[in-house]
Amino acid sequence: MVIYGVAALALCMLVGTLVGELLGVAVGVDANVGGVGFAMIMLVLVTSWLRSKGKFPAASEQGVLFWSAMYIPIVIAMASTQNVVKAVTGGPMAILAGLAALVAGGALVPVLTRIGKPAQPLAPLTAEEKQEA
């Protein structure tokens, strides 16, 4: 049933968020530390374990895949609710500081990817996949 997939996803997210909050309390910061990351790892582990036992059929899978397909629309909704006015009217210093963080961080990506084994680029998207994305 589709709801099993949605429920598994929700459970992973709740547990992950809880772990992130507890970790935040443990290190004494007022923020969630890695909650989403823990939830993602849990989802991968739990679903691959269930699949190996044949207990995560295609219908359950649909419950997860639906939300994955809703990701981009949700991000667009997120973009449309950002406080862009405050970002733009924050003055040149705020704009420069934000830009500098992007440029400096971006420049370090090629440096960091050199650590360890080199990675293979993903296969290019087909035109159809591009439109779907």
Partner 1 sequence: MDVFASVFEDNGLLVAFALIGALMLFSGWLSKTLTRGRLQGSAIAILLGLILAYWGGAVTGGEDGLADFAALSGLSLMGGAMLRDFAIVSTAYGVDLREIKRAGPAGALSILLGVLVSFAAGSVIAAAFGYTDAASMATIGAGAATYIVGPVTGTAVGASSEVIALSVAAGLVKSVVVMVGTPLIAPLIGLNNPKAAMAFGGLMGTTSGVAGGLAATDKRLVPYGAMTATFYTGVGCLLGPSLLYVTLRALVGG
Residue list 55-114, contact with partner 1 (CB under 8 A): 61, 64-65, 67-68, 70-102, 104-110, 112-113
Residue 32 contacts partner 1 per CB under 8 A: yes
Q: For 73-128, what is the HEC assignment? A: HHHHHHHCCCCHHHHHCCHHHHHHHHHHHHHHHHHHHHHHHCCCCCCCCCCCCCHH
Residue 1 CB, nearest distance to partner 1 (Å)?
17
Query: Phi-psi bin for 14: left (phi > 0), alpha (psi -120 to 50), beta?
Result: alpha
Nearer to partner 1, 3 or 94 (CB): 94
* 19 touching partner 1, by CB under 8 A: no
Closer residue to partner 1 in complex, CB, 59/101: 101
